[in-house]
Chains A and B, each alone.
Chain A
């Protein structure tokens, strides 16, 4: 009963192990990077554009609108990070259709790495927006007594992000494996459809929560007059 793709070893050389998580992560990175590069080689700004370019435009404008709805003005500053989070987790769970594939997010290492990226990104964007003093002052709001609680909430938010994604992905693959030994044929197909749905929802949740944390860190304390761009 395999608990995670960490236990699928493809190649081993002494201490250096090439396990399923690493190989599938590389495959996903390859598909995303090479696919996007091929599609954006000849971008057209006219009315005629290839269907792949339309697909990418739908994805990018959709994510931009979602980031703006959360409350982050100028979504182009954050779409690189947040869009990559969403696309990686969504593609990782979408590819479970392919036989022999295990989602790398079903291993706690991958989800912990993604959650650590969010943990680093939140102060990074906060300091970029408000300066070091302004960001650090947000930790002692509303009173100085709240300082340890604010720090604990930062760390527990990161832990919750990692465990939530890991638990959802791992439970999906494990339930599928158990069902395949009990009732092959019809019921595992229904469960794998449910697994796809929860995978997409968890990808959306992960990136929206990251956006909400970044928004709360870059929230301007004193309202500055800024021309409101109506979309």
Chain B
């Protein structure tokens, strides 16, 4: 198996695994956050604006972990430096 094939296989598999595993954690975390927010909204409907705002801020922070994984897999697919390097090498030969 030459290095071009190896780099391609590694990039594709890693990109898929990154986004697959990386979205499990944030999804579970966001589910728990929203569930707790809903129960506290039911207990104290008067502070709905504060609870909603804090919920959104917390969700954005949790979401950013999934965004990091997404950015890594996008880089592996579309802007892969190893792939570009090996292709440039093969074209130069």
**Measuring CB to CB, which residues of chain A are less than 8 angstroms from any residue of chain B?**
1, 3, 69, 160, 163-164, 166-168, 170-171, 174, 201-202, 204-205, 208-209, 212
B57 touches which one: A160, A168, A174, A205 (CB < 8 A)?
A205
**Which 8 A-B residue pairs are closest in the complex by CB-CB distance?**
A167-B67, A205-B60, A164-B64, A167-B71, A3-B78, A1-B78, A160-B64, A164-B67
Is the Cβ of A208 less than 8 Å from the Cβ of B71? no
Cβ contacts under 8 Å, A166 to chain B = 71
How long is the Cα–Cα vector from A129 to B25 in the complex, in angstroms? 39
Is the Cβ of A163 less than 8 Å from the Cβ of B64? yes
Cβ contacts under 8 Å, A164 to chain B = 60, 63-64, 67
Q: How far is the CB of B14 from chain A (nearest CB, A)?
A: 18
Provide the main secondary structure of the chain A interface: helix
Is the Cβ of B56 less than 8 Å from the Cβ of A163? no
B:18-67 near A, CB below 8 Å: 49-50, 53, 56-57, 60-61, 63-64, 67
Q: How far is the CB of B72 from chain A (nearest CB, A)?
A: 10
Q: How far is the CB of B82 from chain A (nearest CB, A)?
A: 17
Give chain B's interface residue range (CB within 8 Å of chain A): 10 to 19
**Measuring CB to CB, which residues of chain B are less than 8 angstroms from any residue of chain A?**
49-50, 53, 56-57, 60-61, 63-64, 67-68, 70-71, 74, 78-79
Is the Cβ of B53 less than 8 Å from the Cβ of A163? no
Given contacts A3-B78, A201-B60, A205-B60, contact A69 B68 (CB under 8 A): no
Cβ contacts under 8 Å, A212 to chain B = 57
B53 touches which one: A1, A69, A168, A174 (CB < 8 A)?
A69
B68 touches which one: A163, A201, A205, A208 (CB < 8 A)?
A163
Q: How far is the CB of A96 from chain B (nearest CB, A)?
A: 18
